[in-house]
Amino acid sequence: MLLTIDIGNTTTGAAIFNKDIIVSKNKLLTPGEISVLFLKSLIKKVYRDKIDSISVSSVVPFVDNSLKESAKKLFGTEPVFIDYLTPTGVKLKIDNPSEMGADRIADYMGALSLVPPPLIILDSGTATTFDIINKKYEYIGGAIFPGIELAIKSLAQNTAKLEMIKFEVPESIFGTNTVNSIRSGIYFSYIGGLSFMINEYKKKLGSGCSVIATGGLSRYFRGKIKEVDIYEPDLIYFGLKKIFEDSVREK
């Protein structure tokens, strides 16, 4: 079985594939190091002895070595980390390819496993990102901006009279108290902003463009952004799977 791991700044997620099917998923807060105990907490015991390959995207470099050591001890195999040098068939037509995050590479490879380009990939998590692939299989750029929870945190930290609140989808665009006004302002401005950006990207990409949304916070927008064609919360795992399988075929 293939174990795919996504190490993010806030959480670390894992999905186990039995051929093309995800048979198990879990997510925990990203620790200071990836220990054997952490991996045991992340991976159900019933699957541990069946894992023979590991594909990883990480944006937290200081935990990578500990993951390598712990994975070798627990599973008897070393994880394969993806980065901007990993062969994917997509050319990075950006100023500094080395700045390209492994998670974003996995996202667009997951999208390419579903539909052909041109593609717009929207990932809503701690940060909200756009990644754009044109018809020539070229990555031509995107965008990064704070996610919903970061936006709320910023308001609380930088505004004297606004406290930290828990986000919930507002019932109305008209906030009638401070809490609902924050929720309304952030939520509906995101919906409007995301729709605007998607349409601007479509102007550049031309006809036949598909829009795929993923990320833990995409659930808040599901059915609200008419431009989105596909919602796939496990996109990054399918991307890690595709990259790993492509590398095996090349060998």
pLDDT per residue as tens digits for the range 160-179: 666 677 888 888 999 888 88
The pLDDT score that the predictor gives to residue 7 is 96
The pLDDT score that the predictor gives to residue 193 is 93
Mean of pLDDT values over 7-22: 94
CATH number corresponding to 2-81? 3.30.420.40
The pLDDT score that the predictor gives to residue 160 is 63
Q: Does residue 159 have a pLDDT over 80?
A: no
Residue type, 134: N
* In the chain, % of residues over pLDDT 70: 97
Distances (CA, A) of 41 to 48, 147, 180: 11, 27, 37
The pLDDT score that the predictor gives to residue 161 is 61
Predicted confidence band of residue 73 (pLDDT cuts 50, 70, 90): very high
Instruction: For residue 232, give every residue at least 6 positions away whose Cβ sits within 8 Å of its Cβ, in sequence order, or none.
Output: 110, 114, 212, 213, 214, 238
CATH number corresponding to 91-241? 3.30.420.40
Instruction: Reply yes or no on whether 103 is catalytic.
Output: yes
The pLDDT score that the predictor gives to residue 148 is 82
Mean of pLDDT values over 92-115: 95
Question: In whole angstroms, what is the distance from residue 169 CA to residue 221 CA?
Answer: 9
Q: Return contacts of 66-69, CB within 8 angstroms, 24+ apart.
A: 66/33, 66/34, 66/35, 67/5, 67/7, 67/34
The pLDDT score that the predictor gives to residue 250 is 64
β partners of residue 81: 56
CB 246 within 8 A of CB 112: no
Catalytic residue among 20, 83, 103, 234: 103
Predicted confidence band of residue 151 (pLDDT cuts 50, 70, 90): confident
Q: Do domains 2-81 and 91-241 have the same CATH topology?
A: yes
Instruction: For residue 83, give every residue at least 6 positions away whose Cβ sits within 8 Å of its Cβ, in sequence order, or none.
Output: 100, 102, 105
Q: Does residue 249 have a pLDDT over 80?
A: no
The pLDDT score that the predictor gives to residue 162 is 65
pTM of the complete model beyond 0.95: no
The residues spanned by each domain of the chain are: 2-81, 91-241
